[in-house]
Amino acid sequence: MPLVTTGDILSQAPSGVGAFNVIQLEHAEAIVSGAEAASSPVVLQISENCVRYHGALKPLALACLAIAEASATAVAVHLDHATDRALVEEAVRLGIGSVMFDASALPDAENVTATAEVAAWCHERDVWVEAELGEIGGKDGVHAPGVRTRPGEAVSYVAATGVDALAVAVGSSHAMTTRDAVLDLKLIGELREAVAVPLVLHGSSGVPDDTLREAVRHGMKKINIATHLNRAFTGAVRDHLATDPATVDSRKYLTSAREAVAQEVTHLLNLLTTP
C-alpha cells in the first residue's frame, strides 16, 4: 500500500492504534505480518536507542519503509523518543512521516521552546509530531515513577508547542517485564476531555490486556509497545535452541521468533481495536 503517516492512521481509526518498536528487520516483518492477519493498520517505530544500537538510522529506516509499502494493510513508519533534532531531520529526509520528539528531560520552558521549534520545522514538511509532557516512569533514570500529567498543563503544552499528539504519564513505566501496571483511568478520561490532540500511552508492555482495553475506552489512542514483543521474540529463540541446541543457522530460530511476535501483534491489535 502507499505510505501513510501515523496521523493518517490515528485520524481514521475508530478506537486504539498499536505502535510497535522495531529492533531488527525480523521485528518489522513480524509486526506487519501480525497486522495483516488482524486486518488492522499499524505503526512501525524506530527509537533513538535502536539507531544507536545499529550505528545509523538509514539502513533500518529504508527497510521499514520498503516493508510498509509492500504491506497489504496501512503501515506508518515513526521515529520514537528522539532527543536529537539532527536525528529528526535525518528521519524526515529519509521519508519517515512522523516523529516523537522527546525534550522531557529539559526544564519545562526549554522543553516547550525546543519542541515548538521542532514541530514548526516538521509541519512545514507535512510531518506529524508527538511529544511528551509528564515523565513516564523507568526510562533510563530520566523519568520519575509516580509522575502524572495534569490536564491543565497538558492543554497549555499542546497550545504552546503545536504538537499533533501528546504522550501522557498515567501510571505506566517503560521496560516493564511484568504486566501489572495500574493506570489512572479517571485521569485518562479527564485528559481526553481537556486535550484536543490524540493521547499516547508509553510503557504499555507493563499493562494487562483488560486495562489496555479500558485505557482505549477512556480515551487513549496510540498504544506504544516494545518490551512485551521483545520478551516474545527472545522466549521463542530460547525455546528453539533448548529444543535443538545443535542449531547454527540463525534463520531457524529467528523464524520462530518472528512467528511469535507476529502472533502477539495480531492478539494485541485485535484487543485494541475491539470497541
Structural domain includes residue 102: yes
Query: Which residue range(s) make up the domain with 120?
Result: 6-272
Q: What is the CATH number of the domain that holds 93?
A: 3.20.20.70
Which pLDDT belongs to residue 108?
Answer: 85
Which pLDDT belongs to residue 149?
Answer: 82
pLDDT, one tens digit per residue, over 99-153 is 999 998 888 889 999 999 999 999 999 999 999 875 544 343 334 456 788 899 9
Left (φ > 0), alpha (ψ -120 to 50) or beta: where does 236 sit? Answer: alpha
pLDDT, one tens digit per residue, over 155-176 is 999 999 999 999 998 865 554 5
CA–CA separation, 27 and 33 (whole Å): 10
Structural domain includes residue 139: yes
Which pLDDT belongs to residue 239?
Answer: 96
Which pLDDT belongs to residue 210?
Answer: 76
Structural domain includes residue 123: yes
Which pLDDT belongs to residue 90?
Answer: 98
- Give the residue numbers annotated as catalytic, written as ranges: 80
Mean pLDDT of 168-197: 76
Structural domain includes residue 1: no
Chain-wide mean pLDDT for the chain? 89
Structural domain includes residue 60: yes
Total structural domains within the chain: 1
pTM above 0.85, yes or no: yes
CA–CA separation, 89 and 148 (whole Å): 30
Alpha-helical regions (H) of 195-249: 209-218, 227-243
